[in-house]
Amino acid sequence: MRPPILFIHGAFTRARRWRPWLSYFADAGFECLAPSLPAHDPPDPSRLAGLGFGDYLDAMTAACATLDRPPIVIGHSMGGLIAQHVAASTPCAGLVLVSSAAPWRTGTTRRALPYAIPYVLQVLAGASIRANPRAAMDLVLHDLPPDEQRELVPTFAFESGRAYRTMVFGSAPVIEGSVTCPVLCLSGGADRLLKPAVGVDLANFYDADHLIFPGRGHSLVSASLTVAAEVRGWIEGLAERATEASFQSNAAV
C-alpha cells in the first residue's frame, strides 16, 4: 500500500501552491493532505504577529497524526524546515525537501539581500511581514512562464516575523541522526534565494539522495515543471528497495 503524502508549503504563501502536485499524486493513487499553515489561508496578519515556528510545527505534526500510517512528508522552502522537524519527531516513510531551508544559519544570496534589508526591523520585532511582489517575481518565479507568474504572484501574502526570524537565524536545529527515514533533496541550479551549498550540505547532513535541476529557480513546485514526476519515481523506488532488502534478508536466512 502506498504511503500517504503530507505537503507543507513555504513562507508567505498557502496550500494552493501545491495544487499541481496534489492533482498529479492524487491521479497516481496517493492519499494527499495539504493543510495551510496557521493564519495563512485566509491571510491574517494580526494573528500571524502572535505566531512562531513552534506553532507551525505543532499544526503540521497534528496534521500528520490524522493519517492512518506514516506518510511521505514533502516540504518546500520554509515548509522544508518544518518537514525536517516533523520527520525528526514523528514516524515517516520518507522526507522530500524541495528548495528547502536548512536547520542552521545559511545567510542569503547577493541577489536577495536588497529585498531582505527592508524586512530587518520587522523580523527582529517579530511583527507580521508582507510579501513584496517584486521580490516574488525576481527571486522565486523568475524562471516560470509569464502566465504562471501572473497566477502565482497573488498567492504571496503575509508571514510571521517570529517564524521567519527562526528560519533566517538558524534557531531551529535538528539533532543529527533524529531523522531516520529516507530523504530526498531537490535544488534549483539557478535558485536566487538559497546558495548552492545549502542543498549540498542538507543532502550530506541527512545522507540523502540529491537532485539538482540546472537553470531552475526556487519554485520547483510549479505546474510548468516536471519535478513531481522525479519525486514520484523516488517514492516508488523506496518500495522497490524495501522489497529487495526483504528478499535478500529472507534469502540469507
* CB contact set of 88 (below 8 Å; sequence gap of 6+): 174, 175, 178, 179
How far apart (Å, rounded) are the C-alpha atoms in residues 60 and 51?
14
Per-residue confidence (pLDDT) for residue 244, from 0 to 100: 56
Instruction: Look up the pTM and report it.
Output: 0.94
CB 9 within 8 A of CB 15: yes
Per-residue confidence (pLDDT) for residue 101, from 0 to 100: 98
Q: Tell how strand 158-160 and strand 128-130 pair up.
A: antiparallel
How far apart (Å, rounded) are the C-alpha atoms in residues 13 and 36?
8
Q: At what angle do helices 19-27 and 227-252 cross, to 10 degrees?
A: 40
Segments in 66-127 forming alpha helices (H): 78-89, 113-116, 120-125
Per-residue confidence (pLDDT) for residue 243, from 0 to 100: 54
Sites in the chain below the pLDDT cut of 70: 242-253
Tell me the percentage of the chain whose pLDDT exceeds 90: 90
> Which grid coordinates are listed for 147?
502566465
Instruction: Delineate the domains of the chain, giving CATH numbers in brackets.
Output: 5-252 (3.40.50.1820)
Q: Any idea what the Cα angle at residue 19 is, between residues 219 and 55, rounded to 5°?
A: 75
How far apart (Å, rounded) are the C-alpha atoms in residues 80 and 35?
14
